[in-house]
A and B are shown apart, each in its own frame.
Chain A
Amino acid sequence: MLASEREQLKAEINKMAKKFDYHRSGLIPVLQYVQNISRHISPESMQDIAEAFKIHPVEVQGVVSFYSFLSIERKGKFVVRLCRTISCDMAGKEAVANQLENELGIEFGETTDDGMFTLEFTNCLGMCDMGPAMLVNDDIHTRVTPEKVADIIDSYRNRFGAHVTHGEHA
């Protein structure tokens, strides 16, 4: 990250923290914001956030590492989260998982080299009657079949070309 970008992000963090009256209950919204903007929460950002809330950086890290939707490592522009809980599993999640790995050329837990897609498993999405279910950023896809995988992935690839600056998402 460029120094100027970091300064900008820091200013934004402080602005948000102020909105929450610097109370630590504002920590999660700020973390979600930073995650959205820079696709991860870097140790530098954690320090800035800790400073804004007057808590310790390691406490921020404790929160970040606790939640699956917050991450220290940089995620792809699109995070594909496939449900691995029992109903989706029985509805054929394995085949979808294989197809996803095939399509993106990565394994679960990895990010594509171009930084576009991250592949992850998730626990129940509450779509048990419409499995296998899959979440791409905030979009839910249900009754996913291996045949549909390519179309879904392509629709994201096409909608957001390489020219799209990060921070924008579906």
Chain B
Amino acid sequence: MPNKDKSTKFGSDRAPASSVVASVEVAKNEKDLGAMVAVSIDGNEIKVPFGTTILDAAKKLNIKIPTLCHHEDLKVAGVCRVCVVEVEGQRTLQAACAYPITSPMTIKTYSSKVRKARRHNLDLMLKHHVGECYSCFRNNNCELQSLAKEYGVDFYRFGHDTEPHHEIDRSSYSVVRDMNKCIQCRRCVRTCIDLQEVGVLEAVNRGPDLDIATFADMPLGEVVCINCGQCINRCPTGALRANDPSDEIWAAIEDPSKHVVIQTAPSPRAAIGECFGLPAGTSVTRELNTAMRRCGFDKVFDTNFTADLTIMEEATELLIRLKKALVDKEQVAFPQFTSCSPGWVKYLEHFYPEYIDCLSSCKSPQQMFGSIIKTWYAETAGIHPKDIVTVALMPCSAKKFECNRPEMQDSGYKDVDYGLTSRELAQMIQEAGLDLPNLPHSDFDDPIGEATGAGLIFGATGGVMEAALRTAVEIVTGVKTEKIFENLDIIPVRGFEGVKYMEIKVPAAGPVPPILSKALGGLKDFSFLKGATLKVAVAHGTANAKKIMEDIKAGGKFSECHFIEFMACPGGCLGGGGQPIPTSPEIREARTRAIYAEEKTLYSRKSHENPTIDRIYKEFLNDGPCGHKSHKLLHTHYIKRGNKIV
């Protein structure tokens, strides 16, 4: 935004009226005069910092105020009026989530006036909430349903529509929108506009005609939606969901002529336990393997293997770009952007198509996996690729779109047949009658089950960068990465800061390993990089990606970067749009801890030390990383989509 500084009061950032007008800055130093305000909530006294909302103050006292439109990741809206409370001296009830405490006050959270109002508001929402709980994927995990139970809704005071007033929008490969179930809390709007800054959904019209709509009411498949699915994770009801392919997958499993292979991404294993009542951050990798086998998948493979492969290809691509720029003095697009996140790829295609050359040509691990399965694996296992069905277990809704991109057929068949989210697999496991947490452990199948820790940490923001650095640093300097980064932990790229930046001095130059000599045109060693400073950055969430892109456009510090990792979802894949609902910063942090803890237990933590990687470059991709064969199977191209849709 061009003139943020000039407009502090109303802000050029989009903000709902309530959060602009009513919010005040929370006092930072508790010792300042007037920084703390005494409040009494239901007779309990507490002092809170000036500007704290009633909701947050009540949380400190362990007093539960029900919420619906409120979400920890999002701006305040105050539209659902479920959190209303009585403030002494105020004529009307106030929304606790949007009311800042600026003077001592007495609050009642459960008077009969409050209870009645909440119940009425719920009844009004239920009037237009068309759809029944049995047939809803959010049954038992629906915020509206649990509030209705909490407030003892036993009849529909204002009636209950049964005829749908909207058609279900199934135009997108990733997201299904059923506006009949929408209660207009605007969480999806705030997710799309504020959190992700994509801007697909907004409230249009007014009063009783209000709708959550896309631009010009176009179907979701035709607008600038990047399929990240963050709106699904934040919808309190079943109005938004992912496009579920499990029926087709069951059919393939039951078809004896089909060989059904599932690849599992690193993030679902750290989260899927939540669907079975386990606390967030419980890793169930080996139980999950057993569950998938019992569901009937013929082979259970690990996407981390192709994550390792991605690192080999992407690091090589970076070295080729550096060589072209520094040795051959050619014009090359810099910085190089990662391309693992299909949400990010589509975001760039829509909003920054002029930077498409910066995007690594490497496919994402999911798609690399698909083409390897239908070529190398098919060959070695002696199965015709037409009989192989590849399913990808992903934390992601955009992966469904990605596997349906028309260019993703380099094996001669559709590389990945179905993208399956963590939630949908949890459903399949439940359908199969399996109790995931108590299943016996088992390992991945050979040969594509072997993966290093570098592949595993792809799931967290900064993971791709860390994995790439572990390999690239070792190749370039000829020194073991452990000698440069203690314990192989590259801390500056980890964590939940929106944008991370790091500089690495190249202290030494090693010889070019034989596997890369062809790709680097017979270069003997990396002396052209000695003493150079490698600049890298990491961003997660497209709002942060936008910050970096705008900085690059303006020629700022990020335009001098060499390599930037982008993930469309906040927190990286762990916070993906296909992960169990709900999501919050704490949940994402717990999942991240689980991934990094599991990583420490693996036999190797550097992609290039994966023996199967060695084998595949010897047996199959025998002209090396970024060679002819890998270009055909593992690399792709992108489309300049632009953001003009009419």
Contact = CB atoms under 8 A, between A and B. Distances in A.
A62 interface: yes
Contacts, number: 60
A25 interface: yes
Contacts of A46: 215-216
Contact of A62 (B6, B203, B645): B203
A54 B1 contact: yes
Interface string A21-48: 1111100000000000000000110110
Contact of B199 (A22, A24, A57): A57
Interface string B627-646: 00000000000000000111
Nearest to A62: B202
B204 A65 contact: yes
B206 A56 contact: no
Contacts of A62: 202-204
A58 B215 contact: yes
A22 B202 contact: no
Contacts of B19: none
Contact of B14 (A25, A47, A59, A61): A59
Contact of B3 (A22, A61, A65): A22
Contacts of B205: 65-66
Given A57-B199, A58-B199, A47 B644 contact: yes
Main secondary structure of the interface of B (DSSP, over half): loop
B252 interface: no
B65 interface: no
A43 B206 contact: no
A47 B206 CA distance: 21
Contacts of B206: 65-66
Contacts of A55: 14, 199
Interface residues of B, number: 25
Interface in B1-45: 1-3, 6-7, 10, 12, 14
A65 B10 CA distance: 22
A58 B214 contact: yes
B200 interface: yes
A23 B7 contact: yes
A58 B14 contact: no
A24 B20 CA distance: 14
Interface in B202-233: 202-206, 213-216
A58 B1 contact: no
A22 B6 CA distance: 11
A54 B215 contact: no
Contact of B202 (A25, A47, A61): A61
Given A43-B215, A44-B646, A66-B205, A59 B6 contact: no
B104 to A, nearest CB: 35
B437 to A, nearest CB: 42
A37 to B, nearest CB: 19
B613 interface: no
Interface residues of A, number: 19
A56 B543 CA distance: 13
Contacts of B646: 43-44, 47
Contact of B12 (A24, A57, A58, A66): A24
Identify the interface centre among A44, A46, A55, A57: most chain B CB within 10 Å of its CB.
A57
Contact of A23 (B6, B193, B202, B213): B6
Contact of A59 (B3, B7, B199): B199
B43 to A, nearest CB: 42
Contacts of B645: 47, 57
A88 to B, nearest CB: 21
B215 A23 contact: no
Contacts of B6: 21, 23
A66 B202 CA distance: 12
A50 to B, nearest CB: 8
Contacts of A24: 12, 14
Contacts of A57: 199, 215, 645
A56 B2 contact: no
B107 to A, nearest CB: 33
Interface in B435-476: none
A137 B106 CA distance: 51
Identify the interface centre among B7, B10, B12: most chain A CB within 10 Å of its CB.
B12
Given A58-B201, A59-B193, A66-B205, A22 B2 contact: yes
Given A24-B12, A61-B202, A43 B193 contact: no
Nearest to B10: A25
Nearest to B2: A22
Contacts of A61: 202, 204, 213, 215-216
Contacts of B203: 62
Contacts of A56: 193, 198-200, 202, 215
Identify the interface centre among A22, A23, A25, A44: most chain B CB within 10 Å of its CB.
A23
Nearest to B198: A56
Contacts of B215: 43, 46, 56-58, 61
B10 to A, nearest CB: 7
B49 to A, nearest CB: 30
Contacts of B2: 21-22, 54
A64 to B, nearest CB: 8
Interface string A5-33: 00000000000000001111100000000
17 contacts: A21-B3, A23-B7, A23-B12, A25-B10, A43-B646, A46-B215, A46-B216, A58-B200, A58-B204, A58-B214, A59-B14, A59-B199, A61-B215, A65-B204, A65-B205, A66-B204, A66-B205
Interface of B: 1-3, 6-7, 10, 12, 14, 193, 198-206, 213-216, 644-646
Q: Which 5 A-B pairs have the closest CB atoms?
A: A56-B199, A58-B202, A43-B646, A65-B204, A58-B215
Given A24-B14, A56-B215, 7 more contacts: A47-B646, A56-B200, A57-B199, A58-B200, A58-B213, A61-B202, A61-B204
